[in-house]
A and B are shown apart, each in its own frame.
Chain A
Amino acid sequence: MSIEKFQKLVSTVVPLPIENVDTDQIIPARFLKAVERKGFGDNLFRDWRYKKDGTPNADFVLNNARFSGQILVGGKNFGSGSSREHAAWAIYDAGFRVVVSSFFADIFKSNVLNCGLLPVQVSDQFLASIFETVEADPTAKFEVDLENQTITNIAAGVSVKFDINSYKKECLLNGYDDIDFLISLNDEIIAFEKA
Chain B
Amino acid sequence: MEPKTLFDKIWDAHVVKQVKDGPDVLYIDRHFIHEVTSPVAFLGLKNRGMKVFRPQNTIATPDHNVPTLEQHLPIKEELSRVQVEALKQNCAANNVQMYGLDHKYHGIVHIIGPELGVTQPGMTIVCGDSHTSTHGAFGSIAFGIGTSEVEMVFASQCILQPKPKKMRISVDGLLGTDVTAKDIALYVISQISASGGTGYFVEFAGSAIRSLTMEGRMTLCNMSIECGARGGMIAPDETTFEYVNGREFAPKGEEWDRKLALWKLLKSDDNAVFDAEFHFQAADIEPMITYGTNPGMGIGVSGSIPTGKNLTGSDLITFNKSLEYMGLNPGDKIKGKKIDYVFIGSCTNGRIEDFRLFAEFVKGKQKAESVTAWIVPGSKQVEQQIREEGIVEVLEAAGFALRQPGCSACLAMNEDKIPEGKYAVSTSNRNFEGRQGPGARTMLASPLMVAAAAVTGFVSDPRDF
Where the two chains meet, the residues of A that have a C-beta atom closer than 8 Å to any C-beta of B are 1, 17-20, 22, 24-25, 28-30, 32-37, 47, 52, 75-77, 80-86, 88, 103-107, 110-111, 114-115, 128, 165-168, 178-179, 181-183, 185-186, 188-189, 192-193
**Cβ contact within 8 Å between A105 and B82:** no
Is B271 interfacial (CB 8 A cutoff)? no
Contacts of B460 on A, CB cut-off 8 Å? none
**Cβ contact within 8 Å between B22 and A167:** yes
How far is A189 from B152 in the complex, measured between Cα atoms in Å? 13
**Cβ contact within 8 Å between B413 and A32:** yes
Contacts of B65 on A, CB cut-off 8 Å? 33
Contacts of B160 on A, CB cut-off 8 Å? 167, 178, 181-182
**Cβ contact within 8 Å between A33 and B44:** no
Contacts of B20 on A, CB cut-off 8 Å? 167
Instruction: Given A52-B438, A80-B194, A168-B22, verify A188-B17 contact (CB < 8 Å).
Output: yes
Is B199 interfacial (CB 8 A cutoff)? yes
Leading 10 A-B pairs by shortest Cβ distance: A167-B22, A33-B79, A85-B146, A114-B148, A111-B146, A83-B144, A35-B39, A182-B156, A85-B147, A83-B130
Closest to B143 in A: A107
**Cβ contact within 8 Å between A80 and B195:** yes
Instruction: Given A20-B318, A166-B21, A192-B27, verify A178-B432 contact (CB < 8 Å).
Output: no
**Cβ contact within 8 Å between B146 and A110:** yes
Contacts of B80 on A, CB cut-off 8 Å? 33
CB-CB contacts of B138-160 with A at 8 A, as 1s and 0s? 00000111111101100111111
CB-CB contacts of B20-34 with A at 8 A, as 1s and 0s? 111101010000000
How far is A36 from B314 in the complex, measured between Cα atoms in Å? 37
**Cβ contact within 8 Å between A105 and B228:** yes
Contacts of B318 on A, CB cut-off 8 Å? 18-20, 75
Instruction: Given A83-B144, A107-B144, A107-B145, verify A29-B195 contact (CB < 8 Å).
Output: no
Closest to B48 in A: A1
Contacts of B149 on A, CB cut-off 8 Å? 110, 114
**Cβ contact within 8 Å between B434 and A189:** no
How far is A166 from B195 in the complex, measured between Cα atoms in Å? 25
**Cβ contact within 8 Å between B411 and A29:** yes
Closest to A177 in B: B148
Instruction: Given A22-B432, A106-B199, verify A35-B155 contact (CB < 8 Å).
Output: no
Is B129 interfacial (CB 8 A cutoff)? yes
Contacts of B23 on A, CB cut-off 8 Å? 165, 167-168
**Cβ contact within 8 Å between A29 and B413:** yes
**Cβ contact within 8 Å between B43 and A36:** yes
Instruction: Given A17-B314, A32-B413, verify A179-B146 contact (CB < 8 Å).
Output: no
How far is A75 from B195 in the complex, measured between Cα atoms in Å? 13
**Cβ contact within 8 Å between A80 and B228:** yes
Contact of B40 among A29, A35, A82 (CB under 8 A): A35
Instruction: Given A28-B438, A110-B146, A168-B22, verify A83-B433 contact (CB < 8 Å).
Output: no
Instruction: Given A52-B438, A106-B164, verify A83-B145 contact (CB < 8 Å).
Output: yes
Contacts of B430 on A, CB cut-off 8 Å? 22, 24, 81-82
**Cβ contact within 8 Å between B43 and A19:** no
CB-CB contacts of B408-429 with A at 8 A, as 1s and 0s? 0001110000001000000000
**Cβ contact within 8 Å between A20 and B156:** no
Contact of A111 among B148, B198, B321 (CB under 8 A): B148
For window 18-72 of B, CB contacts with A under 8 Å fall at 19-23, 25, 27, 36-37, 39-40, 43-44, 47-48, 50, 64-65
How far is A128 from B313 in the complex, measured between Cα atoms in Å? 10
